[in-house]
Each structure stands twice: as structure tokens, then as C-alpha cells.
Amino acid sequence: MRRAASTGLIIAWALAWALAASAQNRGGNPQAAAVKNPVPSSAKSIAEGQKLYQTNCRHCHGAKGLGDGPLAPTDPSPSNLTDAEWNHGSSDGEIHALIANGAGPDSKMKPMKSKLSDNDIWNVINYIRSLGPKQ
């Protein structure tokens, strides 16, 4: 009985550690930065990304991506997606990891990988790129 409890505790700790490690760190993620966006930025991709963004992201990031949505938390507040400041990395791969895995334990941004497919996330990234400065 004690052995089963110990094993359960170890498994719970390992899962918690894995989830924390999968969250995007401030400053970027070199492994994610190496991942290239497989979805070409096109009018169709941007339009699909905009629909997904308006459904899933605008409540916090705002309709125009300014970080001023009606449900935006204040500490920390959502990122302004139209400026050149990317605290969690600015590559498409890093943004994909952030959307898929959430922004970490200090953020209200939760993982979206259970709601959005990889293709959906790439379309959202193409839309977000259309909002801000060209990189």
C-alpha cells in the first residue's frame, strides 16, 4: 500500500514538472525557434486565423491585438501583439509553442493545444503577423 502511494506521488510530481517545463519561458525557446511555419501566409490563411483569433484570443488580447480585451487580466496583462516586443520569443515556432502550451504558471494564458489544431495555430500566427510590424 505504501509503495503504491509513493509511486503515485512520484508520477504526480513528474507530471507537474513536465507541465511546468512545457510552458514557454520568458526570453524565448531555442528548440521552438528552430520550428518553421509550414502554412504559407496567404489571404486564406490570414482570414482563417482571424476567425480563430476572434473566437479564442480577442477576449484577452483585444479585437485589434492591443492587449486590451474585455476579459484581459491586469497582472500580468496580455501582450500587445501589434508591437515589436515579444517577451517569450518572436519566431513563429516560439509563438506556436506559446499558444499550444500556454504562457507559464505566472500567466492567465492557458494551453490551447486541446482546442486548436496545429494548422489552426499556424493560421492564427499568420493573422497575428498581419497585425504587427513586419519581421
Q: Is the predicted pLDDT of residue 44 greater than 60, yes or no? A: yes
Structurally, how many domains does the chain consist of?
1
Mean pLDDT of the chain: 84
Averaged pLDDT for residues 27-37 = 90
**What's the pLDDT score for residue 51?**
98
Q: Are 89 and 98 in contact (CB under 8 A)?
A: yes
Question: Which residues are CB-neighbours of 49 under 8 A, at least 6 positions away?
Answer: 122, 123, 124, 125, 126, 127, 128
Structural domain span for residue 25? 2-131
| pTM attached to this predicted model | 0.78
Q: Are 79 and 67 in contact (CB under 8 A)?
A: yes
At 86, which CATH number?
1.10.760.10
